Every structure is written in structure tokens, then in C-alpha cells.
Amino acid sequence: MDGGMESIYNLIPMKIEKPPKPPRYESKFRTTVKDETKQNRSPNKTMGPAKVDVPTPGEFLKKRSGEPQLPDRKDLFFDDKVGRKPPVPRKDDKPLMGIRTNKNFINTNAVENIMSVPKKPVPKYVDTRWGDNGLLEHSGLVPKYTKKNDYGTVPEYLKKRNEETRRAQEEYDHYIRERMRQGAMKQLTDEERDGIIGGLKKNWEELHHQYQGLSVVTDTAPKKNRKERMEAEMKQLERDIELIERHKIIYIAN
């Protein structure tokens, strides 16, 4: 019976079998993570000690207990004559104020300020609009590497790598010359290289033209296989074209 016509068998409800659920994923590091979590956990880390001593009934806040304790008045004065302060000088006394000098401090200070070198400000950086700043030297913005003794010189590992690359290139060139001298290898000319590229592109265009003529619906296995085969051949041609175009010099074995 044609599939597009109605059938009495379509009226019978069919039981839809649900696919079995895959097993639940379980990491192989689950036990290790559990053990590490238990080892690094501290019971008194955020909630304080487990047991707190209960204060005694006599330890309660009393009046004026928080005020500072002033020293005793007897400690502020000297009772013995040896430790008393000297008396206040009288009006007619001329106490000695120190050694007198003829130095002109005004001129001396002026000369020192004129001859002194101004102090350079400490370089700082400001990273917020509110003016938060810090020392520029420790910020990582100062190119300290330019002050090194070996600045501008090629590192040793780069010299070693360049030497290995040069030696490998010389060995490769010597091998190519030897093979070409023996007649076991030859180099493609520009005309041959262009001809190979043109042939590959022509094959790709023909295959692409056949690919566009395929049916849109791939409801059968032969159609699906043919489509996949043509797609693989087109990708291989694209890789070959890109490989030949990327290399200007190509050697082939005789």
C-alpha cells in the first residue's frame, strides 16, 4: 500500500519505547576531593571557639570604669629639696642664654637656599579618578629591563637554535644537490608547477559541477555515500592546491 494513503493500521496507538538513560557521570577524583575537603576544614574558622568561658558574676560594667585613671597628686610634686625644680628668675636677673655669635643667619639661610639643588619629586602614578596613587617604580610600568647589562644582546638559547637551523638547512641543501647530481631527483619548473595547479583546479571544478547536480534529499545509502565521497575528494583537491601554491620550489623523484 502506498505510504501517502490512509491506512487502518495507523489508528492503532503504538508504544514508544524510551531509550535507557546513560549511567550517571561520577568523577574519578570524587573521593580525593572529599578527603582534601575534610582535611583542610577548620571547625572554629568563622564561628569562633567551640567553648567560651562564662564570665564571673563580679565582672560587670561599673560606673566610671571606662574613664582613664589619673596619677596621684602626690606624684606630681617633689617633696624632697633635691628633686625640686629651679625657682623662677627675678626681674633684675640676667640669665645666660647661651654662647653669643656674630653669624648672620638670614644671609646664611638665603645663600644656602640659592645654592641648594631642588629636590626631585618621587614619580607616582594615579589609577583612579579620586587621586589614589602609588610609587611608579613598583608598578611594573618602568622599563627596568633596559638597564640590564645584557640588554639588546641575543640570548644564548636563540643563538643555539639559529645555529641548529642553519646546520639543518645546510645538510638538506647538500642532500638535495647530491640527489640531483645522481639523477634521482629533479626540480619542477614554473610551467610544470602552473600546469599541475591548473589541472587540480580543473578537476575540482568538474567535481563541484557534479556535486551541484546531486539530489537535495539523500534518503538512500548510495546517495549518501556518493555525496560523502565527492566531498572528501573536493577537500583533498583543495589541500593539494594549497600545498603546491604555498611552496615555490618542488622536487620530485625520478
Q: What is the pLDDT of residues 65-93, one digit of tens each?
A: 888 887 776 666 555 555 677 788 888 87
Kindly tell me if the per-residue pLDDT of 98 is higher than 70: no
Which pLDDT score, from 0 to 100, does residue 39 have?
A: 77
DSSP string of 77-126? S--SSTTPPPPPP-TT-----S------HHHHHHHHHHHSPPPPPPPEEE
Which pLDDT score, from 0 to 100, does residue 75 have?
A: 62
Kindly tell me if the per-residue pLDDT of 2 is higher than 60: no
Which pLDDT score, from 0 to 100, does residue 92 have?
A: 83
Q: Tens of pLDDT along 151-209?
A: 888 989 999 999 999 999 999 888 888 888 888 888 888 898 899 999 999 999 999 99
**Alpha carbon distances (Å) from 174 to 8, 24, 168, 170, 187:** 82, 61, 10, 6, 15
Q: Is 180 exposed, middle or buried (0-12, 13-18, 19+ CB in 10 A)?
A: middle
> Among 125, 251, 229, which residue's Cα sits nearest to residue 179?
251
Which pLDDT score, from 0 to 100, does residue 7 have?
A: 73
Asked if 67 contacts 61 with a C-beta cutoff of 8 angstroms, the reply is no
Which pLDDT score, from 0 to 100, does residue 53 have?
A: 77
Which pLDDT score, from 0 to 100, does residue 138 have?
A: 84
Q: In whole angstroms, give the CA distance from residue 96 to residue 175.
A: 105
* pTM of structure: 0.38
Helix (H, G, I), strand (E, B) or coil at 253: strand
Q: Tens of pLDDT along 22-42?
A: 888 889 999 988 888 777 666
* Mean pLDDT estimate for the chain: 83
